[in-house]
Amino acid sequence: MKHEFSHASKGTINLPIFIINRSPIGTRNYSSPPQPPPGPPSDPSPTPPLEPPGVRTPVESLPPPQKTHDSITFPWLHGNQLPRIINYPYLISNSRKSLTSQILSLLPVFLQHKISMWVTAKMLKGATSSSYFPDEFLAGASYAIRQVCAAFSTPSDLEALKQMFTPKLYDHFVTELEKISSEKSSITIEISKIYNAKIHDIWVNVGPQKATQKRLSDDKEIQKNYLIIHWMTIRIGIQRGDEKESYTERKAKVSKAFSDGIGFKVDVNFDADIIYSLKSSENQQLIYDQVRRPLIVRFESPYFEPSNKIFKKITSNETGSGDINEEEDSVMNWNWQVGDIDYLLEKEDLESEEKLET
């Protein structure tokens, strides 16, 4: 089942209820020749430090929400609860391996974060277009999050959620929704008003997916063959080389990683009025929370491997133009899915990573 969202000034964008979709139908085509996959930002934009050991700030820990009724522990933040992560522990540079690393290491975290945001936004605009990101993206995200809340509400639409969410997020929520259904309780989540939506973070993974999909891989073969360069919200997986490898050789490997694969995750901060209601099987009001608060939602792109799969080739016949010449155009081939809500999974991942590091 699909819903369409029309953006009058930009054309029509097909938006499945679960996806911010820029499909060939009803979207702007990119003229031939196709755009190249995004590469490293050109100078004067800074490149990530090569081998930052990193420094982390403490992760703020909160106890899990208290049980509200029998076995129901639906993981939705209430207005009187603190955010799951108050100060995000970005990996910052304290390396002296390169001039870029040395300069970055002198900057406070908030400035490093601003630089990271500028670099990743430039990369995402290069992969899409400046007209699409951030304006069209945020419009689609605002539409999509309302559909998420509608699918949560009883009777929950599990099939829609399965398509809307990444598998990991779906598995996390479906158990609690099934508990609610089995106990004949009911849940309602409604966003009555969105005052503002803004980009909170842009995460970019570059290189083979098997090398970048986990922060700390327990796969010894991956650790043996790949080096992960991680700074702020950028992760680059490159083939390990000799310890005496030159800076020029390392830089060439970073450039190659941009061709090997790329994936984006965008955290959107919604300033919204949210109603969260939970009722028992006897229609007793267990929770009624009406609050204006920030709602942080992560949208994840597919992982494009190699990165030129960002663009899909279509012929003029497929566009319906009627042109007998089958000239190829390049169009966006993007599906966004919801990968996290209010750092639910991110907090778990950070805590797991901390345990591995100790």
What pLDDT, on a 0 to 100 scale, did the predictor assign at position 40? 55
**How far does CA 40 lie from the centroid of its chain?**
20
Nearest to 235 by CA among 90, 45, 89: 90
Beta bridge partners of 271: 196, 294
pLDDT lower than 70: segments of the chain: 1-72, 93-99, 214-219, 312-333, 357-358
The dihedral built from the CA positions of residue 228, 60, 218 and 170, taken in this order, carries a sign that is: negative
- Domain boundaries of the chain, sorted by first residue: 2-202+270-357
C-alpha span between 289 and 277 (Å, rounded): 6
C-alpha span between 241 and 226 (Å, rounded): 9
278: how many CB neighbours lie within 10 A of its CB?
A: 22
* Cβ contact 353:215 at 8 Å: yes
pLDDT (tens digit per residue) in 9-35: 333 333 333 343 333 223 333 333 445
Lookup result for tokens 């700074």: 231
pLDDT (tens digit per residue) in 54-86: 444 333 334 444 444 445 678 999 988 999 999
What pLDDT, on a 0 to 100 scale, did the predictor assign at position 358? 64
Lookup result for tokens 């290069």: 126
C-alpha span between 326 and 189 (Å, rounded): 48
What pLDDT, on a 0 to 100 scale, did the predictor assign at position 328? 46
C-alpha span between 189 and 149 (Å, rounded): 5
Residues with Cβ < 8 Å from 151, sequence gap 6 or more? 17, 157, 160, 161, 164
